[in-house]
Chain A
């Protein structure tokens, strides 16, 4: 190391010693303020997350614990929402019982027609749907206007039977 190098290193050491400085206090204050702001936001977010979690858990518990729905199909449930009293229905004549969730596939089913005397039957506790073919002429009994030219033909229908075996409603299936 020559003289100029050692002079330079000495100068650098002096410069380093001259520069023993620290950040001003207001930098620390600003950073602390920011840290506190972030901490408050973090606490707020944590509470939001906890609250959202509690609500979600409550909903899940409610769904899990609520009693199982009655066996009625939605159509039967809609039908059962009226007054009782018995009387045999005209559509009860034919057979061919089908599972209630049939009548799907490519079929198009209308809503159930309430049969004229269904109002006086006991309310529905359970229901069975029976797929039948009805003569078009029998639709007159339900108050449906019938084309006399086609009165001899038959139409496919689902008949809704109550727990007592009495018909409450009928729907037509294309």
Chain B
């Protein structure tokens, strides 16, 4: 998802409002990846990520004029909508962390598929435990890590998506990284 109002996004939204299927498809293909990844990294479940992606673009389909350029980029708007859906889903499925230990977890499958025998094993294990640590963070910290570190969104855009001040994003990110570092150190100690 590109930052700011991508050339053509406003035109696409206008055309979507008129019922232009091609415009909707272009808009969806342009933005679905980041929305899906955000939902996946926030929830750890492909099923939730799919539902959230669908819900986000249903909102775009139903009310394309809901996006207000004065309040931030299209990307920030979509992240904001996705965040609301994810948090709602996580509220409904509170014990979602059980998915972390599920060997069928999409992330676990992905890590296993990408692993090169032996040489990358340690690295993949580290990545996998880091992914679990991210998922175990409280939502307020998790969302800044997902947005700023995993989705590489800048602070201003993250602040617009989360509807908070840039300073809040910075401080939450600092705290979240400290929590992750602590967790990773503890894991290393256990491994030794």
Contact = CB atoms under 8 A, between A and B. Distances in A.
B49 interface: yes
Contacts of A22: 32-33, 36-37
Contacts, number: 98
Interface bin, chain A: 20 to 34
B134 A15 contact: yes
Q: Which of A5, A13, A20, A22 has the most CB of B within 10 A?
A: A22
B73 interface: no
Instruction: Identify whether the interface residues of B are mostly helix, strand, loop, or mixed.
Output: helix
B93 interface: no
A144 interface: no
A51 B7 CA distance: 39
B127 A14 contact: yes
Given A11-B127, A39-B19, A39-B21, A31 B151 contact: no
Contact of A31 (B54, B114, B181): B54
A30 interface: yes
Q: Which of A9, A27, A39 has the most CB of B within 10 A?
A: A27
Contacts of B25: 28, 32
Interface in A1-41: 4-5, 7-9, 11-16, 18-24, 27-28, 30-32, 34-36, 38-39
Contacts of A140: none
B136 to A, nearest CB: 14
Interface in B1-39: 19, 21, 24-25, 28-29, 32-33, 35-37
A4 to B, nearest CB: 5
Given A16-B151, A27-B54, A34-B61, A5 B181 contact: yes
A16 B150 contact: yes
Contacts of B180: 8, 12
Nearest to B180: A8
B28 A15 contact: no
A36 B32 contact: no
B152 interface: yes
A83 interface: no
B36 A11 contact: no
A11 B126 contact: yes
A28 B28 contact: yes
Given A21-B40, A23-B32, A30 B150 contact: no
Contact of B61 (A16, A21, A31, A43): A31
B12 to A, nearest CB: 13
Interface in A45-62: none
Nearest to A36: B21
Interface of A: 4-5, 7-9, 11-16, 18-24, 27-28, 30-32, 34-36, 38-39, 42-43
24 contacts: A4-B185, A5-B181, A8-B130, A11-B130, A12-B130, A12-B150, A14-B130, A16-B152, A18-B127, A18-B131, A19-B150, A21-B37, A22-B32, A22-B33, A23-B33, A24-B50, A27-B36, A27-B50, A27-B53, A28-B25, A31-B28, A34-B58, A34-B61, A42-B19
Q: Which 6 A-B pairs have the closest CB atoms?
A: A23-B36, A12-B149, A16-B150, A11-B130, A23-B53, A22-B33
Given A20-B37, A27-B54, 10 more contacts: A5-B177, A15-B131, A15-B134, A16-B152, A22-B32, A23-B50, A27-B36, A31-B28, A31-B58, A35-B24
